[in-house]
Amino acid sequence: MRERDWEQNWKAAFSHDLSRHRRALAKLPEHSAYAGALPGEFVPNATVVSHSRKWAFVETDSGWSESGGGTADTTMCLIDERLREGEESLLAPGDRVLVEVAEGKPTVRAVAPRLTRLARCAGKHDRLKQQVIAANVDILVIVAAAACPPFRPGLVDRFLITAQQGGVTPLLCLNKIDLVEHEPPEMEFYRELDLDICIASCETGEGIEVLRQKLAGKTSVLAGHSGVGKSSLLNRLDPNLRVVTRELSETTKRGRHTTTTSVLYELQEGIRIIDTPGIRALEVWNVSPEEVAFYFPEIAACGMRCKFRNCTHIHETECAVKQAVADGEVSKPRYESYKRLRTGMELEGGRT
């Protein structure tokens, strides 16, 4: 057996991983055995901008600072190790938190209840059930591209469901309109839903001022596929940000991940906006297969005329929804999106 030399580089030898050892050492001052009780009732004094497992970068409220006074500032804080995750993420950009200073170290001690949220199912092997992408937001800006990458109504439909679940107002931003002569035909059906829509181009500047007016004084979150231009929209809204952008992959014609973590930005005119990493798929949280139709108003309305009360609108022969699709009363892409959602949930036990 090979003997280990504990005299040389003992820290790395002891932990087998020096970075992991450093993380372990960083937890010692905050050990629960030596810390005071966590606050019960409290008044939040900071907003989460971004975070990792142990650290949170927060924007402090006016009148708070590490010394107990001063003006608004941004601070990197430890997250109290006694704050535990339940079924959902402990922190997300937009969360209101209580930050206290102990021994010169600002620490997140408590998290206020979320008023609204943008969330999705966590990964199958994740210890959480629900991943909160953004908290306490007013508007979900669903960014889709008119081309490059192509417009995908299925993801838009899933975001509409997610927005309704989280109490967030959706806004569909069709970006890259300069690349096409006409809007994708599916846009007609979203207009019929009275969905707030903004047509934009980061190249020509079309629609940017309209989008700025819609977001003024609000807290919003940008979400959509990789490569649809979320970061480019941010740069157009406030050129001082200079958020890094990347071109589409020449091989797959899909977007490459530029934003790797959700971050809250404060722009001019009181715009607070959270940029999120692009996603390839969105799993809807806590919706049963039977409830899917209620998130498609036109399908739910037609479903009232179905012969069977428990009609799935997929397999049945005498189905008013299928007939409405054939007659052009219901959008075929919307119906296909409904079928994908419901079929996926039935296959995976209510989760898609």
Phi first, then psi: what are they for 106, rounded to 5°? -65, 135
Confidence of residue 175 (pLDDT cuts 50, 70, 90): very high
The residues facing 110 across adjacent strands are 98
Query: Residue 295 has what pLDDT?
Result: 92
Tokens standing for residue 23: 């993380």
Cα–Cα distance measured from residue 225 to residue 282, given in angstroms and rounded to the nearest whole number? 10
Q: What is the CATH number of the domain that holds 47?
A: 2.40.50
Phi, psi of 221 (to 5 degrees): -135, 135
| Residues 141 and 263 grouped into a single domain | yes
321 lies in some domain: yes
Q: Is the pLDDT confidence value at 110 over 90?
A: yes
| Structural domain contains residue 71 | yes
Look at the chain and report how many structural domains it folds into.
3
- Mean pLDDT is lowest, of 6-15, 72-81, 129-138, for 6-15
Do 147 and 103 have their domain in common?
Answer: no
> CB of 199 within 8 A of CB of 207?
yes
Question: Of 229, 253, 275, which residue constitutes the final position of a domain?
Answer: 275
- Last-in-domain residue among 233, 248, 275: 275
Residue type, 172: L
232 versus 241: the higher-pLDDT residue is 232
What confidence tier does 216 reach under pLDDT thresholds 50, 70, 90?
very high
Can you give the pLDDT at residue 26? 47
Tokens of 33: 């055995």
Q: What is the CATH number of the domain that holds 211?
A: 3.40.50.300
Would 281 be classed as within a structural domain?
no
> Average pLDDT for residues 93-117, to the nearest whole number?
93
Residues 327 and 220 in one domain: no
Residue 120 domain flag: no
Is 117 domain-assigned?
Answer: no
User: Which CATH number covers residue 298?
Assistant: 1.10.40.50
Of 259 and 83, more confident: 83
The verdict on 165 and 55 lying in the same domain is no
Judge whether 343 lies within some domain: yes
Q: Are residues 294 and 224 in the same domain?
A: no
> Could you give the CA distance from residue 288 to residue 259 in angstroms, rounded to a whole number?
32
Instruction: Please indicate, yes or no, if residue 202 is contained in any of the structural domains.
Output: yes
> Do 156 and 244 fall within a single domain?
yes
Q: For residue 271, which of 138, 164, 172, 142 has the smallest C-alpha distance?
A: 138
Average pLDDT score over residue span 217-221: 96
Using the predicted structure, report yes or no on whether residue 299 has a pLDDT greater than 90: yes
Residues 139 and 46 in one domain: no
Domain of 181 in residue numbering reads as 133-275
What is the structure's pLDDT at 257? 42
Query: CA nearest 330: which of 300, 295, 289?
Result: 300
pLDDT at 67: 46
Q: What are 244-273's pLDDT values in tens digits?
A: 665 544 444 444 445 568 899 999 889 999
Q: What is the pLDDT of residue 118?
A: 94
The pLDDT assigned to 138 comes to: 98
Query: Are 233 and 303 found together in one domain?
Result: no
Instruction: Tell me the pLDDT tens digit for each residue of 186-195.
Output: 898 899 888 9
Lowest mean pLDDT among 6-10, 94-98, 155-159, 344-348: 6-10
User: Band of the pLDDT at 168, cuts 50, 70, 90?
Assistant: very high
Q: Percent of the chain, pLDDT > 90? A: 52
Name which of 15-29, 33-47, 148-162, 258-272 the model is least confident about. Answer: 15-29
The pLDDT, as a whole number, for residue 189 is 84
Same domain, 268 and 166: yes
pTM of the model: 0.80
Q: Is residue 192 part of a domain?
A: yes
